[in-house]
Amino acid sequence: MNEARTGPARIIDGKASAARLRADIARRAQALSSRHGITPGLAVVLVGDDPASEVYVRNKGRQTREAGMQSFETHLPATASEDELLAQVARLNVDPAVHGVLVQLPLPRQIRETAVIDAIAPAKDVDGFHVINTGLLASRGTGIIPCTPLGCLRLLREYVGDLSGMRAVIVGRSNIVGKPMAQLLLRENCTVTLAHSRTRDLAAECRRADILVAAVGQPRLIKGDWIQPGASVIDVGINRISITTADGPATRLVGDVDFDEAVRVAGAITPVPGGVGPMTIACLLSNTLDAACARHGVDPLSLDAPEAGGAHSASASAT
Ligand code: NAP
């Protein structure tokens, strides 16, 4: 399927793709506001003081506002009970200004993630984790799609094009990345293999892939000689490792793929950082815009049509 190649892979620039997507969302949010008087609203709930989660939530809030949407942020203490969090979710579920509700994971130990995910109104579940949405994706190819796999799919469509008939191997079977990624690639008519920690001969499975998606959480697990020459590699992993620099010990982010080896073999590859990561928040905004449209019966594609007396560029539909 892929041409054998000897040169370095094309770098899949997720940062640039995400910037284009956010600009497109901002333009459509503006059209939704000016033509229909609707401002999409995203509510993010953070429980506790996990520094990484605080950074994610801050970034989400900033990018939501930059896209012309309303951002509602709630911060509960690390000691908050499950009932307190469920009460907050219930309030957001009925708030007409809120079109998307996201509870930042992971949660403190006293709160069951499944209880919280089950409590979010499916129409506002912009993370796409509610069983109604996972069921819709699995059985009908519809519903609100989890942001990270949706971002991966957008990158593949942009850089590879038609995926039909390709062999896709996904390493990792989590509910938030691996499983929905498999459903999406099946929907694109790929032949899909979902590998995990019990897979026998993972390297051989990976070598068969025209499209290889790594969502494992193990730094540089996937080596260059596990990759079919010319394959498209999407590295979802974000791992912080310790390194030694001239100035002493430091840390850096690496993916699940050994980038330096893989870039010599693959046809196209996402870097870490700057690949999948930026697409995740952009897709969250896109899901929020779509949820606002669905709530008010507006066809999202109609927002791309030129307004009387003005011109808009056409954009691809969200999913
Ligand atoms: P997760 O829930 O921990 O799942 C990891 C998966 O990898 C599991 O299915 C596990 O198999 C499998 N696995 C672990 N070790 C393996 C091995 N040695 N060989 C084969 N499979 C192995 O992780 P996740 O939430 O999907 O996240 C995966 C990575 O993506 C993490 O680095 C995370 O930080 C990153 N991530 C990035 C974004 C983004 O926006 N870029 C978003 C989400 C996650 P079993 O099921 O058999 O245990």
In the predicted structure, residue 318 carries a pLDDT above the cut 80: no
3 has pLDDT over 80: no
d(CA 296, CA 38): 8
Predicted pLDDT of residue 305: 86
Provide the whole-model pTM.
0.95
Predicted pLDDT of residue 78? 98
Question: By alpha-carbon position, which residue is closest to atom 17 of ligand 1?
Answer: 197
Q: Which amino acid is at 43?
A: A
Give me the amino acid identity at 283: C
**239 ligand 1 Cβ < 6 A:** yes
DSSP one-letter code for 136: H
Residue with CA closest to ligand 1 atom 19: 197
The pLDDT value recorded for residue 307 is 75
The answer, yes or no, to whether residue 207 has pLDDT greater than 50, is: yes
1: confidence class by pLDDT, cuts 50, 70, 90: very low
Q: Is the pLDDT of residue 303 over 70?
A: yes
Report CA(146)–ligand 1 centroid distance (Å). 15
Provide the strand spans (E) within the chain: 10-11, 41-47, 70-76, 100-103, 167-171, 191-195, 211-214, 232-235, 239-245, 248-254, 268-269
Active site residues: 60, 104, 127
Task: Using the mean position of ligand 1's atoms as its centre, give its distance from the Cα of residue 239 in Å.
Answer: 10
pLDDT at 316 exceeding the cut of 70: no
Residue 4 has pLDDT above 80, yes or no: no
User: Which of 105, 127, 153, 177 to probe ligand 1 with, by most ligand atoms within 8 A of CB?
Assistant: 177
Residue 180 pLDDT > 80: yes
Distance CA 268, CA 259 (A): 11
Give residues with Cβ within 8 angstroms of 62, minimum separation 6.
none
Please check the confidence at residue 199 and state whether its pLDDT lies above 60. Answer: yes
